[in-house]
Amino acid sequence: MPSRRVVVSAHNGVHARPVAELVRLAQSHGAPITLRTADGTAVDLSSVLAVMDLGIASGDAVVIETSQSDTADRVLDQLAEVLDPRR
């Protein structure tokens, strides 16, 4: 299963604007994408409320994963860049 481990670099953590971008990208992918926190909590990345409820802060590590597809690597890289623009 393709995945990316990302350390969130935004000093405000993951707030409304990046969550909206993450959800938009996830929904455009067409396959389920999961966001998993360091404590093992996993949510569907297409749900704004589920992602916001995680309370991801700057410096937190997360894993984004999806099923294998022709576009999996591209969408995972795009999602990772939203969480860590320095990538």
Taken in order of first residue, the domains within the chain and their CATH numbers are 3-83 (3.30.1340.10)
- Tens-digit pLDDT string for the chain (87 aa): 899 999 999 878 889 999 999 999 999 998 999 999 999 999 999 999 999 999 999 999 999 999 999 999 999 999 999 999 887
**pLDDT of the residue at 62:** 98
pLDDT (0 to 100) of residue 5: 98
DSSP three-state, residue 86: coil
In this predicted structure, what is the pLDDT of residue 45?
Answer: 96
Within 10 angstroms of residue 8's Cβ, the number of other Cβ atoms is 19
- Catalytic pick from 5, 9, 12, 15? 15
Does the active-site annotation cover 29? no
Query: Which tokens hold the place of 55?
Result: 């309370």
pTM of the model: 0.93
* Residue-level pLDDT at 30: 87
